Structure 1
Amino acid sequence: MRLSAFSTPGRFWRGNLHTHSNLSDGALPPEEVCRRYRAEGYDFMALTDHFVGCFGYPVADTVPFRAEGFTTLIGAELHSGPMSNGELWHILAVGLPPDFAPGNAPDFRVQPGMETGPEIAARAVAAGAFVAIAHPQWSGLTLADARSLTAAHAVEVYNHGCAMGCDRPDGFAIADLLLTEGRDLSLIATDDAHFSEPDHFGGWVMVKATENTPEALLAALKSGQFYSSQGPELRDVVVEGNRVIVESSAVVSVIVQGAGTGAKAVHGQSMTRAEVPLERLGASPWLRVTVIDAAGRRAWSNPVRR
């Protein structure tokens, strides 16, 4: 069984799904943010400013900044709540309609009668968006919180802004527990760039689609036809009998993870192909792949059910 990102037609397009401008708390105007991503070789990006009243509930119109070889997805970071810790939810929504209706979030404080996080996420999915649970570690998200957000397509497992700004970039613990409970979720790496610190060009998705258009990219995201990276390339992942065969750019470690303590790593020098036995994963109902290059940068496959 070959993971769908490597078996479906098309090519990989590099994109960032979490970015801010001065329409909310970013340092740069939308046009300059888009210019910088295009100049860095990205094929697409989503500007996802904070969807709260003090910023005017922005859903940024980035259509004017599309160009040959570069497109944009319309989105926002939605806020409502509260979570278990008493703070507002942070929910990434990419592919929103420009007229997505505001909730009752005048600022980042909890208000009486707010939509719950699950309610605003479900509303975004119904409006056509690809929805992800943003930066679980940074947010102080509990497993109970995550369980409640049943509409989400994905978990943000690496957030570069949270890595650089507070060393809390991780979402794998939450994602792995949800996968073990039977949730079908994909895994995204993002920047969460504000351009006020070195929080950009550090984590991205590689989306497999036949064309670099918002419609094709959004459909591929919802289908899980992508992988995430800080630098390494994944070129093929095949589950064959009791092993996983991984092809990639040059790496020093290839790791297959599953439920609980299930994991197996293969190490070497400049490996571009590795076969990882699955005995250590036991009866895990799912698995995913991580590769690590000599600089410590990682790439992550989406999970696959066995």
Structure 2
Amino acid sequence: MRSDNLFLAVFLLGFMAHGTILSQDKTWYKGNLHAHSYWSDGNEFPEIIMDWYKTNGYDFTVLSDHNTLAEGEMWITLSEKEYLQEAFHDYLDHYGESWVEHQLDSTGRTKVKLKTLEEYRSLFEEDGEFLIIQSEEITSNFGDKPIHINASNIQEKISPKEGGNVAEIIQNNIDAILEQRERLNVPIMPHINHPNFGYGISADDFMQLNDVRFFEVYNGHPLVNNDGDSTHLDTESMWDLINASYLQEGKPLLYGVATDDSHNYHRFDKSYSNPGRGWVMVRADSLTASSIITAMENGDFYASTGVLLKGLETGNDSLQIEIAAEPDVGYEIQLIGKDPASDAYQIIERVKGTKASFTLPHGYGFVRAKVVSDQTNQNFFDETEYEKAWTQPIGIKKPN
């Protein structure tokens, strides 16, 4: 039985910053929007990665390799590390000599031809059960500042665009993605990755942008600095400051996603970028790329690192949340907002338990909810990291 059957009773009526969204008779789908394979700097074959996500209860996933799509001919030279050699032989044993093309080079090292998306897609995709969305991580930099942007459901490879500063580079790449979307009439969703990786992208950079709808509030790579440091904001604080600016300028609210950014599939501990750390739960009409992207652009999703929601109802003046609670786990549900007089977001109200009903407060341009459990996940790279969920920001109507 599908894990998202827990959520079929959920009704979501959300007033967002730019309209009312009716979301009934839909299904929750679990997905990851950021992962890597041997096509760039991951350490596993695409088929093994797809099998991991499908076996572990995901409904959709991507491979978002750096500046490439899984198409054409690509050979890799296999690492001589023992565990990767063993993994190759497991791959060969599972798929067989007729599937795995490999040979020895002049130095005696093993070279393997990678399968393209179109070659392996049919092994895993099932209508209504599992979907692979083509993606690319458009990867560039400005000096020592890394700038990475994912394009989900991309149809043609996009080479990184240049610019005179961080914001200009981001905007030029966003514009290139949206140009392809308009030209091909296909929904393609850009999201800005791990802004605190190398502290490459600041809140001020975001504030200069247009047509930006998504960013990673959580990324599972151990080097991305989700929590910031003494001189850099954490990603949640950035999120609220950016949205305060966007509201003031009449821009759509920025939505937050959680992703794996998985690279390492053989050794699981805090030193590695493993799968299973962050995902999105999307409530969509069907398990297709267009339905998933439409739902996300409507804000009909939440981000999670382990907490699942059983109920989520948003009206013009209220927000109700019910958690799909696990036994012997405690939860705190927080209502978060930023009033015009403050420099930082505030926890407006806290509820301990598995249900909360909030009246949306006036005087705030937007609010969002966050659920924090007292359960850690052994897959996290920080033993003090507790499982969480984040709803999307809700624009509040000013009273007449």
Give the alignment's TM-score, normalised by structure 1: 0.83
Counterpart pick for 1:138 among 197, 201, 207: 197
Residue 117 of structure 2 is matched in structure 1 by 61
- CA contact under 8 A between 1:165 and 1:199: conserved in structure 2? no
1:274 aligns with 2:351: no
How far has the Cα of 1:16 moved from its partner?
Answer: 0.2
| Count of residue pairs the alignment pairs up | 287
Give the unaligned 5+ runs of structure 2. 1-11, 16-20, 75-115, 182-187, 228-233, 266-271, 339-343, 376-385
Residues 56-102 of structure 1: CA deviation (Å, up to 9, x unaligned): 9x9x73634442211111111112342xx6424111211111x2342
Aligned with 1:79: secondary structure? strand
1:253 and 2:338 matched: no
Residue 19 in structure 1 maps to residue 35 in structure 2: yes
Gaps of 5+ in 1: none
Is 1:190 the equivalent of 2:259?
Answer: yes
1:202-227 deviation digits (Å, cap 9, x = unpaired): 11000111211222112222222211
Comparing 116-125 with 166-175, greater Cα deviation is found at: 166-175
Assess, with a 3 A threshold, how the Cα gap between structure 1 residues 240 and 273 changes in structure 2: closer, same or farther: farther
- Provide the alpha-carbon RMSD of the alignment: 3.0
Is the aligned partner of 1:89 residue 2:151? Answer: no
| 1:154 equivalent in structure 2 | 214
Summarize the Cα distance change of 1:119–1:8 in structure 2 as closer, same or farther, 3 Å threshold. farther
Q: Take 1:78 and 1:38, find their aligned partners in 2: how far apart are those partners?
A: 25
Letter in 2 for 1:284: Y
CA distance in 2, matches of 1:103, 1:261: 34
**SS of the residue 2:286 aligns to:** coil
Aligned-pair distance for 1:51?
0.7
SS at match of 2:177: helix
Q: Structure 2 matches for 1:73-222, cutoff 5 A? A: 73-82=133-142, 86-97=144-155, 99-103=156-160, 116-128=169-181, 129-140=188-199, 141-161=201-221, 164-165=222-223, 167-168=225-226, 170-181=234-245, 182=247, 183=251, 184-195=253-264, 197-222=272-297
2:39 is paired with a residue whose SS is: coil
CA offset digits 1:74-132 (Å, max 9, x no partner): 111112342xx6424111211111x2342468xxxx99xxx822111111123232111
CA distance in 2, matches of 1:261, 1:252: 21
- Identity percentage of aligned residues: 25
Q: Is the 8 A contact 1:21 1:33 kept in 2?
A: yes
- TM-score, normalization by structure 2: 0.65
Letter matched to residue 91 of structure 1: I
